[in-house]
Structure 1
């Protein structure tokens, strides 16, 4: 079985093009069920081919353009045997996890960079996410969401002070001021950033508190969603919404940024009794610092699923970003 590779010539083909490579492209799309079977595949990239390419892109979590762009070309040339292996491996992962699920939970799927809010087997909300890059991976774990911080301060982690802030300050000495980040020593005294030698920062200076004020530029955006874990990992809003439109959303330092997070906050607080969407949105807009305990203590699972089928039998695949498929990992203790 399997499917044939599509040639280099298929690259960048789009609706209206004519090329011998379209014949192979159609055969490839028919093999994976993205295009209905035809008796004779001609060399015209017609509306039906466009529909099939878009369906293929959607199944593989790619930006749906209808064009054979680079990510689409590469995804089409993954052998059927590799995809089959992926399905076996992920079936085992899902079986391992299924036993531990409550009726209501939040699941972050890292390879798909998506979040689902599930209730009684139905996905009630689906959110695009940005997750940890390969060298700062989002950890795999199960926990309970217990608190929402509205309009939080952001305390810059020590590792980022050393890795990132020093670099930014050398490039632009006003960076901290522009970002509304203030420095405090152990006694709570404000430190002037210009008194620090950013090219050779001391351990004592790294251990100061670097705190970003609430507001539009805050790295947490309007909220932070806390769950118990030893990794200082949490879900949060972001001022950088443009990343949600990308194919590969692996940009964070381990925490998970959530698109339309206000909707998820409302879903999490629904058992609190005194919250609705209007109240969530107006609290965001007010910039008021507020911490709210989540009555329901909703379970959260961060997972690693690169292949799955929905109830209609449509199979989806994602890239093995952290190379856990390659290692054959099925359980994440």
Structure 2
């Protein structure tokens, strides 16, 4: 059997996991939400996931009083932002050349004067008339969202609404057909900036050695999404949370080797120095509440009260968080050995998945509905009962409920890449754009060293000098150079290196 069980000391609420099995699928796992464009308009009330109500002691109603209401023990549904239903993946074997050709097309638009700007406070509802509609029509016809022979009028009629929705889909906006603040802001980005996004994104794919196959996974960092691609089609697309601008998620090319259920989390030294030590000075009980153990030489547990938190000596210890619902990695970790020591994982902070702006992690990628992704990755891998069994939803939940760590090695490793594409083209001739959240598209930013990436893996990558960075050209010839491996860690926006060998836990 390929699963290795490692007993750990934890306080996972087994009854809660078993309740999930007994009550059946709930919340986000009950029935797939209809896939729509990323950027859901979620109300403030919906963004804050309510806490599970505590059980109420049974009591008989007194005469003349209503019977006490029973509070549901069912888990609240997880609110997540919407994601695109586009079956075409963000990254395919043809993306490099498709994007180069699209960059040339946008260069021609920019040279011809591009398009005008609309009033920033413009709001046009479907069916309404406005003096700005003719300019809107010209823009959408220029970029291919509106047929050139569409009858001209000053009304946001049905054909124009469809064109607005197509534009919104290409920019990761809610497909409402309403022209509002977000849509106007995207419409007002100049053609020359769009050309630079396409050109810079193509440049970042130079030297890529990614192994496209029948099945692979793509994380587009600016879109904060994860795509499971099978036979050239996106079969699953997930909302993700990626690195903050000062803790940027790096670009990598690796292979998913295993899925860890009930993982422990070894705190990186950088987080110990910057976050744990200052917190312990203010709050000595913090580690105990978070169930983080201090381990000395040989794995001997150390009492936190014996550690000098005044300096940085605590960083010489290993800090490890027990597995459980409140573990920083949640209940699932997806392992992909790489020099940056980053990976995908679950999280207890699921409310972040409801946000439109999801750049909050220390560099790793948190995935909504990660158990479903794990199930897809484990297709073809023998289940917990060996040959003939499979890792379905019940088997995954049952293994989590055992309160033991389970490491499942994939029978066939699956290629995975983290890319930074703010502009890219798909084979159907459409250009897609996302915000440059790390500010690396401009020539000045490309010439500057990339930000240091705080790794959140269990092992800190070996220190080595950063490679020299050369400015990204605005125009590129459609020629792909021979791949070259790099030995140093790669900041976001630089040419990716070959995936490293397996990292130790």
TM-score calculated relative to the size of structure 1: 0.83
**Residues 243, 41 of structure 1: alpha-carbon distance in 2 compared, 3 angstrom cutoff:** farther
Offset, 1:123: 2.5
Tell me how far 1:151 sits from its aligned partner. Answer: 0.7
- Equivalent runs, 1:37-56 vs 2, <5 Å: 38-42=150-154, 51-56=162-167
- Is 2:214 aligned against 1:103? yes
* More helix, by proportion: 1
Partner of 1:276: 391
The answer (yes or no) to whether the contact 1:14–1:45 under 8 Å persists in 2 is yes
Alignment check: 8 A CA contact 2:277 2:312 kept: no
In the alignment, the residues of structure 2 paired with residue 162 and residue 70 of structure 1 have an alpha-carbon distance, to the nearest angstrom, of 41
1:146: which partner in 2? 257
Equivalent position to 1:208, from 317, 322, 326: 317
1:304 to 414, 420, 431: 420
Matched, 1:6 2:118: yes
* TM superposition shift of 1:174: 4.1
Moved more, 219-228 or 245-254: 245-254
1:13 & 1:170 partners in 2: Cα distance?
54
How far is the alpha carbon of 1:30 from its aligned partner? 4.1
Residue 496 of structure 2 corresponds to 332
CA contact (8 A) 1:150 1:283 kept: yes
- Relative distance call for 1:99 and 1:215 in structure 2 (3 A) is closer
Paired residues, number:
328
- Aligned residues of 1:262 and 1:277 also touching (Cα < 8 A): no
Distance 1:298 1:51, change over 3 A: same
Residue 313 of structure 1 pairs with residue 313 of structure 2:
no
Deviation at 1:8, TM superposition (A): 2.2
Of 342, 345, 350, which aligns to 1:236? 345
Q: 1:80 to 1:174 in 2, by over 3 A?
A: same
Contact 1:61 1:247 in 2 (8 A): no
The answer to whether the 8 A contact 1:237-1:259 is kept is yes
Deviation for aligned residue 1:15: 5.2
* Counterpart Cα distance in 2 of 1:138 and 1:35: 36
Work out whether residues 214 and 232 of structure 2, in 8 Å CA contact, stay in contact via their aligned partners in 1: yes
Alpha-carbon separation, structure 2, partners of 1:149 and 1:288:
10
User: Displacement of 1:217 after TM fit?
Assistant: 1.2
Alignment pair present for 1:189 and 2:301:
yes
SS in 2 for 1:331: coil
1:115-152 CA distance string (max 9 Å, x none):
22223323332222222222222222222221221111
Contact 2:120 2:181 in 1 (8 A): no
Question: What secondary structure, in the 3-state scheme, does the structure 1 residue paired with 2:341 have?
Answer: coil
Instruction: From the superposition, tell whether residues 156 and 32 of structure 1 become closer, same or farther in structure 2 (CA, over 3 Å).
Output: same
Q: Which has the larger radius of gyration?
A: 2
Single out whichever of 100-109 and 152-161 deviates more from structure 2. Answer: 100-109
| Separation in structure 2 between the aligned mates of residue 45 and residue 160 of structure 1, nearest angstrom | 52
What is the CA-CA distance between 1:294 and the residue it aligns to? 1.4
Q: Is the 8 A contact 2:277 2:314 kept in 1?
A: no
Q: Distance in 1 between matches of 2:286 and 2:234?
A: 41
2:229 is aligned with 1:118: yes
1:258 aligns with 2:370: no
CA–CA distance in structure 2, aligned partners of residues 71 and 180 of structure 1: 42
Note if contact 1:128-1:258 (Cα within 8 Å) is conserved in structure 2.
yes
